[in-house]
Structure 1
Amino acid sequence: MRTLLAFIALLLPLGQLAAQESLTPTASKPARIAIIIDDIGYSLRNGLRAARLPANVTLSILPHTPNGAALAKVGFEAGKDIMLHTPMANTRGVPLDKGALTDEMDQETFLATLRGNLQAVPHVIGVNNHMGSQLTQNPEAMDWLMTELKQQGLFFIDSRTSADSLAMSTAINQQLPTDERDVFLDHERSQAFISKQFDYLLKLAKRDGHALAIGHPYPETLDLLEQRLPLLQAQGIELVSISELLQPVIDTQARIEQDNNTL
């Protein structure tokens, strides 16, 4: 909520801030959550389980993986938003997946790699970072990234793998639809921990009007989501796709651009 409101405040001239009201939680509107499942593409079995989750769960696909393109197609046909989960350099020296964006790349190589990643995953409407604790702190690389995504009409979600990430602020500066992860569901792979994180996600959503979680296609995570997602409506929670979560920002941008074009 606070990130979407801040973004709209930067976009809108004074006197038009009433558009924020559509994001403000009210007693008549359910709190909303969006869930992105990252790291899709290696395990066909777990990827298919993720694709069979309710349609509003978003799949983020690693490029150049054995099953990534096929799972993107399956997820799209099941009504899901499809994102590119693009690998980026990290500070821990963890080996990088194919298609990784790194600090050592010049702009031409960086953009060629990014475009190759986008072409490898069908039906992509947005991007988030896989790892990236190092690259998301690089202002030049983030500028290259957001400029390209803006030109291609995509949005960016900051997985927030570093507290010093510049990704979302760069996207805001370029008026790119953006948000950041509120909760990681499963950086500990135990049912107790994942359940605790899911409860925290719902708490944030009820407090702020919406919340965004990222999880992975682990059997433990999929078990919990299969059990608990059907119960959300009774708890006053609405599960929405990532594009639905960002729609107020996208609509506001479109109105501003239309107004500018008529000046």
Structure 2
Amino acid sequence: MTDAKRIAVETVWVPGHTGWQGQQRSTTGLIALGVLLAAAILFYAATLVVDPAPAMKVLGAGVVVAVGIAVWLLAAHVRVARARVVRLVIDETSVVFGGAEQIIWPVRTLVLAGILLLAGWAWSVFTVPAERMTMPTLLGVPVIGAILLITGARSWFRPPSRHRLAMRPDGLELRIPRNDVSATWDEVEDASLEGDRVVVRTSATRPSSWATRDLASDPVLVAELLSFYAHHPAARTEIGAGTIARLRSGDF
């Protein structure tokens, strides 16, 4: 929102469309697996915290912090209302749909978890007897700590959200990690929700996609809007402020 080029930020409720219905498949299995995994990780953290060695306590604290951040990140995603809601930014040349700003700080905080894990691991290696260092601790912790540290550190030096879909009168640009595409409207064939991902098909590149929660907007409505502009060339000149009016009317 601080970019000088941005001239309007809008949150639009779209009438006349069913929109996204949320996760349609049963999530009971995934929830159960997540609870069991979290319980196992917290049990592992507890064994570290109760260890008399200060280094192991630091390591345990790092594990607890990492689990807490993971829960915070998940909750931040879930709390973003997306059904029939579109969030877009109008700048000088395009309409931009971005990611959820609520997840920025959870991701950045991964730096703290990474530092605690790596510091506790390094301290333990030099001060804790080898027979008390399990293989998961010796081999798994430094890898996980490095991943968390790098992910969190990179988020401080990159734009707040790397998830971005931009529409211009001449085409679109999708920038999702490992799923990028830049195409003219004449190359865009269609966009639709398939499972838990929105798939954009073009004649020039392989299909690209983003997950339903990658952007802070209703994925079905964004896909329908893309398809509308792809199939109605005369409407493309309105992309900008005219897009907001179209969303508010639901006429697409």
Common fold, TM-score beyond 0.5? no
TM-score (norm 1): 0.22
